[in-house]
Amino acid sequence: MKRIVFIVNPAAGNGRAQSKWQTIRPQLTLQHEVYVTEFPRHGVALAREICAVKKETLLIVIGGDGTVHEVIEGCAGAAHVSITLLSAGSGNDFARTFTAVQSAKEIEQLASDSTKKQLMRMGNIATKIQQAIFVNNTGFGFDAKVVFETNRSLWKRRLNRFGLGKLAYYGVVVKEMLSYRPSAMELVVEHQTYRFQNVWFVVVCNQPYFGGGMKISPKSNPEDDTLEVTVVANISRWKLLLLFGTVFIGWHTKIKAVHSFSGTLFQFSFAETTIGHADGEYCGELKPGERAEVKLLPQTWAMPVK
């Protein structure tokens, strides 16, 4: 039998993670360990502590995309620890592609299977002053500014109480759409250089979804050895709003302003200071002319397979 470990982020979903944990814990019949995050990036340290025990482990994260991002970072390269998520955040894009659970029964079914797991790739974003891993996606520009402002929003915390955290995201989208200033950008895909004017955002994806279910990169597959980059440039504010309406079904890729590339190494720089994110978490900003580099890492993480 596998070792069963939980990492719970009680702050995720404005307390929704804690509520779900209190519901599920009495239903568990198997012996388990529990770790609770207490501050930002605590999940990384807890995950490393868990991985130090060299025993086949099922690690269940109860939180949102930010929490599972931290845990996967801490478990990078530890193939004996399989990671799954019981979603309790506001975006929950991880659960749309990777193995996730919803009940104590599903958790115990995964724990009883000692063989079925898959090694997954992760990406890395590096700038002049910092770097971060990503499992879902990383981006700079309008989308990162929206994520940054949403995470600071009081409305997100208020709406999360009712499971409506996405409404705060959409509200910030409209607000930033009226004020955001697009920038010129240079993009290098492998060794080919592309230049764009009036870039709203660039996002590099390891799986299709971002922003709470928007299918920004339909061709992205976390099981392959490539990443996909999407650039949105030279589009009016109101057409951009319409574009977001088509993203949920992937039709935006037919729009002239949307440019897509595949590869394993990307570099980009902007003419204006631009904010970035990795899996929806702020990862710094690029000053004019500074370059970011995105690539697939050799490190993997283990995902249980149902």
Q: What is the mean pLDDT of each run of 10 residues along the chain (306 residues)?
A: 92 86 95 96 97 96 93 95 88 87 92 83 92 94 86 63 63 83 96 96 93 85 93 92 79 89 96 94 93 92 91
Q: What is the pLDDT of residue 25?
A: 95
Identify which of 6, 118, 98, 1 has the alpha carbon closest to the alpha carbon of residue 60. 6
Provide the H-helix boundaries in 197-279.
Answer: 237-247
- For residue 260, list its beta bridge partners: 230
Which 8-state DSSP code applies to residue 115?
Answer: S
Q: What is the pLDDT of residue 242?
A: 80
Instruction: Say how many C-beta atoms besides its own lie within 10 A of residue 55's C-beta.
Output: 9
In three-state secondary structure terms, 226 is coil
Q: What is the pLDDT of residue 267?
A: 97
Rounded percentage of the chain residues whose pLDDT exceeds 70: 93
Q: What is the pLDDT of residue 159?
A: 58
Q: What is the pLDDT of residue 114?
A: 63
What angle separates helix 42-51 from helix 65-74, to the nearest 10 degrees?
40
Q: What is the pLDDT of residue 182?
A: 96
Phi, psi of 148 (to 5 degrees): -60, -50
User: What is the H or E stretch that residue 23 is in?
Assistant: helix 16-24
Q: What is the CA radius of gyration of the chain?
A: 19
- Which pTM was predicted? 0.88
CA distance 165 to 160: 4
Q: What is the pLDDT of residue 253?
A: 83
